[in-house]
Amino acid sequence: MQNSEIARQFEELADLLEIQGANPFRLRAYRNAARTISGLPESIEDIAKNTPKELQSLPGIGKDLAEKIETIVESGTLPQLETLKEEIPADVVRMLNIPGIGPKKVAFLFSELSIHSLDDLKAAAEQGVIAEQKGFGKKTAQIILEGLEHLSQAGNRVRLADAKAQSDEIIHDLQTLDSVQQISEAGSCRRRKETVGDLDILITSNAPGAVMDALANHPLVNTVLARGETKQRVRLNSGLEMDLRVVSEESYGAALLYFTGSKEHNIVLRRRSQERGLKLNEYGLFRKDKLVSGKTEEDVYQTLDLPWIPPEIRENRMEFTAVEENKLPELIELKQIRGDLHMHTTATDGTASILEMAEGAKAKGYQYIAITDHSKRVTMANGLDAKRLRAHWKAIEKVQSKISGIQILKGIECDILEDGSMDLPDDVLSEADWVIAVLHYGLKQSQEQINQRLLNAIQNPHVSILGHLSGRLIGKRPSADLNYSEILKACADHGTMLEINAHPMRLDIDDIHAAKAKELGIPIVINTDAHSVKGLDVMQYGVYQARRAGLSKKDVANTKTWKQFQKLLKK
């Protein structure tokens, strides 16, 4: 069982208890436990099984929490959590994803107004019931309506990182079975979309029943929804559903191609098949009733006079034109990243020191990093004013003198204020090696206001890069209203780089606009925005986003060596 799954259960437990009005200290203990577990480099399951006494030596984990961890590892869940899920409807928990509506307000809506579904909530907001409640008002009612609209657009999809962790664990366990010959994920998870609606796994097997039994009894599986001779559908503990399909060896490649998608990509492939007197489906590529190819994806593509196309760009946006022009990109790979230029330390809201972050990055083989703690506007993160920032930079210089083999840039994640000015004066920013300009506040301003703020930052000679451009949080907060054409053109004109923020909740900028930035020659930097050493691991999700945009190594600035990257530091 992945650390992320165990941490998720503690977070969910805390959310449900908070809706019930539980003791704040108890809630904090569960959330701290979740943070400790998710940031742990070792497998918490291995510790619980092999050396359970060591659980209590972990930060914030006492006897009670250690016992709960052991229960999750043994049974897959907590009885207490399952009981709370029965008492509190799933829609009530989803209300926590509405910006500005915390657990206390959700508890009031549930307990005092008997609102048990999102439909009930919408009706109460539209009819003025919520606006009449003390502590709510018309503004909160409007925020609720806007949040519900965003939730409906997001649907029941989950973030890629959460979906992939579950898919990876199940595939890892199933492929150890002697009865499984080949196994692969498919669907939007294989294409590395930002969010995933459900999971798909394809296998070849000489004993499908045994594989289905193993899946049914897997710790992550809650319920078997349907089972046939070649297909099984299950619901995981997280609520995500998964399809397991058993296919023949001669059809495996065709089935993988078909179930990976996208629908739009497959339509073009079927059209190419028809033009060649062939028929393509999930069973293979046929000429009349004779199977021509289907054993591997490469075979199918080759028969259609195409090179193998990476799953991330199978969206019928760029791939077929690129093939025709002989410009199919060699997509960037994680191993090509040589630096990480957005991370936080204990100086603001990080959990590791400068030295610990530098050592963590060096262990990944990076040649350079930038320490970019928050500026003073982000008070909740203990943001830095000019005096504290300069002292922080001196501390960075001190650490640099103690560590070799990695260059540490003195940076800052500087807010672009609501009035369009930077959160720190130019004389301070001029002393930085690396300045990330970001929007954290005022994200609901008009497009004209938002764009002007960003243009001011782009034109500032001390700003190196725009970070998490749209300000979105996937599934929780929509993007700010941006005129991307204007912003990207300005970045190209002024030599300002753009970030793909690799944090699974951000993945910002998105793949569409990253592809446009590539067209304009704007250097992209993939950063983790790590707040712990473990947080450096999310770099792969930024690389997935870059691959979906069709980016190659040459399009991403932090694939350069330190010597090469230095040339980009000045505009």
pLDDT at residue 5, rounded to an integer: 80
Residue 486 lies in a domain: yes
3-class SS of residue 130: coil
Q: Same structural domain for residues 279 and 241? A: no
Of 179, 227, 231, nearest in space to 207 by CA: 179
Question: Mind spelling out the 3-state secondary structure of 330-361?
Answer: CECCHHHCCEECCECCCCCCCCCCHHHHHHHH
Length of the chain: 571
> Which are the contacts of 369, defined by CB distance < 8 A and separation ≥ 6?
339, 340, 341, 343, 357, 358, 361, 406, 407, 408, 409
Phi then psi dihedrals of residue 284, to 5 deg? 150, -175
C-alpha pair distances (Å), 182 with each of 86, 185, 191, 256, 297: 39, 11, 19, 11, 13
Instruction: Say how far apart CA 239 and CA 235 lie, in whole Å.
Output: 6
480 by Cβ neighbours in 10 Å (0-12 / 13-18 / 19+) ranks as buried
Any idea what the CATH number is for the domain that residue 412 is in?
Answer: 3.20.20.140
Residue 320 lies in a domain: yes
Q: Same structural domain for residues 538 and 409? A: yes
For residue 286, the cross-strand partners are 279, 291
Written as one letter, the residue type at 514 is A
Residue 293 lies in a domain: yes
Looking at 295, 324, 353, which one is the last position of a domain? 324
Q: How far is CA 238 from the centre of its chain?
A: 16
E strand spans, 401-511: 407-415, 434-438, 465-466, 497-501
Looking at 154, 175, 204, which one is the last position of a domain? 154
Phi then psi dihedrals of residue 479, to 5 deg? -65, 155
* Contact in structure between 300 and 307 (CB atoms under 8 Å): no
pTM: 0.82
Q: Same structural domain for residues 388 and 523? A: yes
Q: Which residues of the chain have pLDDT under 50?
A: 571
Residue 93, both tokens: 């928990």
- What strands lie across the sheet with 180-185, from one edge to the other? 180-185, 199-205, 241-246, 231-236, 221-227
- What is the number of alpha carbons within 13 Å of residue 514 lying toward its C-beta? 28
* Contact in structure between 370 and 434 (CB atoms under 8 Å): yes
Dihedral (C-alpha) 421, 427, 430, 436: value to the nearest 10 degrees?
Answer: -30
Strands 434-438 and 407-415: parallel
> Which are the contacts of 80, defined by CB distance < 8 A and separation ≥ 6?
13
* Contact in structure between 115 and 144 (CB atoms under 8 Å): no
Range of the domain at 107: 3-154
Q: Same structural domain for residues 30 and 172? A: no
- Residues 370-405: tens digit of each pLDDT: 999 999 999 888 999 999 999 999 999 999 999 999
Q: Same structural domain for residues 67 and 126? A: yes
Instruction: Say how far apart CA 67 and CA 52 lie, in whole Å.
Output: 9
* Contact in structure between 500 and 540 (CB atoms under 8 Å): no
Looking at 99, 121, 154, which one is the last position of a domain? 154
Q: Same structural domain for residues 520 and 495? A: yes
Residue 428, both tokens: 């301070």
Q: Same structural domain for residues 182 and 142? A: no
Q: How wide is the angle at C-alpha 394 spanned by C-alphas 392 and 396, nearest 5°? A: 75
Instruction: Say how far apart CA 238 and CA 163 lie, in whole Å.
Output: 9
Q: Same structural domain for residues 349 and 472? A: yes
Phi then psi dihedrals of residue 103, to 5 deg? -55, -35
Q: Same structural domain for residues 464 and 391? A: yes
pLDDT at residue 154, rounded to an integer: 56
Instruction: Say how far apart CA 240 and CA 48 lie, in whole Å.
Output: 26
* Contact in structure between 336 and 540 (CB atoms under 8 Å): no
Strands 497-501 and 524-527: parallel
Strands 158-159 and 195-196: antiparallel
pLDDT at residue 291, rounded to an integer: 96
pLDDT at residue 16, rounded to an integer: 87
Count of structural domains within the chain: 4
Phi then psi dihedrals of residue 466, to 5 deg? -95, 125
Residue 329 lies in a domain: no
Any idea what the CATH number is for the domain that residue 216 is in?
Answer: 3.30.460.10
Any idea what the CATH number is for the domain that residue 264 is in?
Answer: 3.30.210.10
Any idea what the CATH number is for the domain that residue 120 is in?
Answer: 1.10.150.110
pLDDT at residue 100, rounded to an integer: 66
Residue 532 lies in a domain: yes
* Contact in structure between 109 and 95 (CB atoms under 8 Å): yes
Residue 9 lies in a domain: yes
467 by Cβ neighbours in 10 Å (0-12 / 13-18 / 19+) ranks as buried
Of 206, 192, 135, nearest in space to 160 by CA: 192
Residue 476, both tokens: 């929780």
Q: Same structural domain for residues 209 and 347? A: no
Q: Same structural domain for residues 312 and 369? A: no
Written as one letter, the residue type at 179 is S
* Contact in structure between 134 and 140 (CB atoms under 8 Å): no
Q: Same structural domain for residues 18 and 90? A: yes
Residue 571 lies in a domain: no
- Residues 140-149: tens digit of each pLDDT: 888 888 888 7
Residue 443 lies in a domain: yes
